[in-house]
A and B are shown apart, each in its own frame.
Chain A
Amino acid sequence: MNTTVLSLRGLTKRFGDHTALEGVDLDVTEGEVVVVIGPSGSGKSTLVRCVHQLESIDSGAMYLDGELLGYEEHRGGLRPLSPRGTAAQRRRIGMVFQQFNLFPHFSALRNVTEAPRRVHRRDAADAERDAAALLARVGLGDRAHHYPRQLSGGQQQRVAIARALATAPRILLFDEPTSALDPELVEEVLGVLRGLAADGLTMVVVTHEMAFAREVADRVVFMDDGRIVESGPPQAIFGNPTSPRLRGFLSRHNREVPA
Chain B
Amino acid sequence: MTLTAPPTRTGAGPHDVATARARFRPWRWVAAAALLVIAAQIVAFGVGNERFRWDVVAANLFAPSVLAGLGTTVLLAVLAMLIGSLVGGLLAAAQLSDFGPVRWAATLYVGIFRGIPPLVQLIFWFNLAYLLPRLSIDVPFGPTLISWSTNDVITPLTAGVIGLSLVESAYMAEIIRAGVLGVDQGQREAASAMGFTPLQTFFRIVLPQAMRVIIPPSGSQFISVLKGTALVSVIAMNDLLHAVQVIYNQTYEIVPMLIVACIWYLAVVTLLTLGQRRLERHFARGHVRTVATGGVS
Q: Which residues of chain A have a CB within 8 Å of any CB of chain B?
A: 52, 54, 83-84, 87-88, 90-91, 93-95, 97, 99, 101-107, 114-115, 118-119, 147-150, 163-164, 167
Contacts A87-B196, A103-B205, A104-B209 given; does A147 touch B286 at CB 8 Å:
yes
Distance A107 CA – B285 CA, assembled complex (angstroms): 9
A94 to chain B, nearest CB (A): 8
In the complex, which of the residues A99, A103, A119 has the most CB atoms of chain B within 10 Å of its own CB atom?
Answer: A103
Contact of B286 with A149 in the complex, beta carbons under 8 Å = yes
Contact of A91 with B208 in the complex, beta carbons under 8 Å = no
In the complex, which of the residues B187, B195, B285, B290 has the most CB atoms of chain A within 10 Å of its own CB atom?
Answer: B195
Contact of B287 with A104 in the complex, beta carbons under 8 Å = yes
A-B contact pairs, 19 of them (CB 8 A): A87-B192, A90-B195, A94-B193, A95-B193, A97-B193, A101-B186, A101-B187, A101-B189, A102-B190, A103-B187, A105-B283, A106-B286, A107-B286, A114-B204, A115-B194, A115-B195, A118-B200, A119-B196, A148-B286
Distance A91 CA – B191 CA, assembled complex (angstroms): 10
B286 to chain A, nearest CB (A): 4
Measured between beta carbons, the chain B residues less than 8 angstroms from A90 are 192-195
Please give me the residue from chain B that is nearest to A96 by CB atom: B193
A30 to chain B, nearest CB (A): 21
Measured between beta carbons, the chain A residues less than 8 angstroms from B192 are 54, 87, 90
Contacts A97-B186, A99-B186 given; does A163 touch B194 at CB 8 Å:
yes
Measured between beta carbons, the chain B residues less than 8 angstroms from A101 are 184, 186-187, 189-190
**Other than the known A87-B195, A95-B193, A114-B204, what 10 A-B pairs have Cβ atoms closer than 8 Å?**
A54-B192, A83-B197, A88-B195, A91-B194, A97-B190, A101-B186, A101-B189, A103-B191, A104-B287, A105-B208
Interface residues of B in 202-259 (CB under 8 A from A): 204-205, 208-209
Distance A52 CA – B191 CA, assembled complex (angstroms): 12
Measured between beta carbons, the chain A residues less than 8 angstroms from B288 are 149
Contact of B289 with A by CB under 8 A: yes
Contact of A119 with B193 in the complex, beta carbons under 8 Å = no
Contact of B140 with A by CB under 8 A: no
Q: Which residues of chain B have a CB within 8 Å of any CB of chain A?
A: 184, 186-187, 189-198, 200, 204-205, 208-209, 283, 285-290
A131 to chain B, nearest CB (A): 13
Measured between beta carbons, the chain B residues less than 8 angstroms from A163 are 194
Partner of A149, one of B195, B196, B287: B287
Partner of A83, one of B191, B198, B205, B283: B198
Distance A94 CA – B205 CA, assembled complex (angstroms): 18
Question: Top 8 nearest A-B pairs by Cβ distance?
Answer: A91-B195, A101-B190, A147-B286, A101-B186, A115-B194, A95-B193, A119-B195, A104-B286
Measured between beta carbons, the chain B residues less than 8 angstroms from A87 are 192, 195-198
Distance A164 CA – B192 CA, assembled complex (angstroms): 12
Contact of A119 with B285 in the complex, beta carbons under 8 Å = no
Measured between beta carbons, the chain A residues less than 8 angstroms from B189 are 54, 97, 101
Measured between beta carbons, the chain B residues less than 8 angstroms from A148 are 286
Distance A54 CA – B209 CA, assembled complex (angstroms): 21
B9 to chain A, nearest CB (A): 38
Measured between beta carbons, the chain A residues less than 8 angstroms from B195 are 87-88, 90-91, 115, 119, 167
Please give me the residue from chain B that is nearest to A107 by CB atom: B286
Distance A167 CA – B189 CA, assembled complex (angstroms): 16
Distance A54 CA – B205 CA, assembled complex (angstroms): 17
A49 to chain B, nearest CB (A): 8
Measured between beta carbons, the chain B residues less than 8 angstroms from A147 are 285-286
Measured between beta carbons, the chain B residues less than 8 angstroms from A149 are 286-289
Measured between beta carbons, the chain B residues less than 8 angstroms from A88 are 195
Please give me the residue from chain A that is nearest to B208 by CB atom: A105
Measured between beta carbons, the chain A residues less than 8 angstroms from B286 are 104-107, 147-149
Measured between beta carbons, the chain A residues less than 8 angstroms from B204 are 114, 118
Distance A204 CA – B104 CA, assembled complex (angstroms): 42
Distance A130 CA – B286 CA, assembled complex (angstroms): 23
Distance A167 CA – B289 CA, assembled complex (angstroms): 29
